[in-house]
Amino acid sequence: MSAESPSPGPAFTQVRLIGLPAEVDRLTALLSSGAEVISDDPSTPDDRGRVERTVEVVTHPSPRPPSPEHGVSVTVQAVLETESGAFPRLPGGTAAQEVEESVTQALQAMPRIRLESLRVVSSWGLPAPQE
């Protein structure tokens, strides 16, 4: 009979964020949406209006195995390219919400899927097609 070594505990990766308060908050929320995080409060803004915040991202040594009776949590990041004019107000908040709603409807139409959350992270203009 072999003795199994105890599984190691979680690992902590420290991330230091420095920038404008809205961007630091956005990045903290983005990290929180994909991982377990421990965060301090942001500092007082400096002369340039920038704050500093330290976030620790918690990672576990091995994922929890899927359970047939409970389902699985799957995190997916997708990059969508649209035709010209599909969401003309991007990168504005209204257009981002329109994208989120469209993608949410498409994902919710998939069988046996419960959508937990979805958020537009960024939008960039595509270069002109090469001829």
> Which sequence spans correspond to the domains of the chain?
10-62, 72-124
Residue from 104, 107, 86 nearest 95 by CA: 86
Mean pLDDT in order along the chain per 10 residues (131 residues) = 55 92 88 81 92 88 73 74 80 80 88 79 72 64
Q: What is the distance between the terminal CA atoms of the chain, rounded to a whole angstrom?
A: 68
Is the separation of the CB atoms in 115 and 106 below 8 Å? no
Task: Tell me what pLDDT residue 39 has.
Answer: 83
Task: Tell me what pLDDT residue 50 has.
Answer: 96
Task: Tell me what pLDDT residue 1 has.
Answer: 47
Task: Tell me what pLDDT residue 5 has.
Answer: 47
The C-alpha atoms of residue 1 and residue 113 are separated, in whole angstroms, by 42
Question: pTM higher than 0.75, yes or no?
Answer: no
Phi, psi angles (nearest 5°) of residue 95? -70, -40
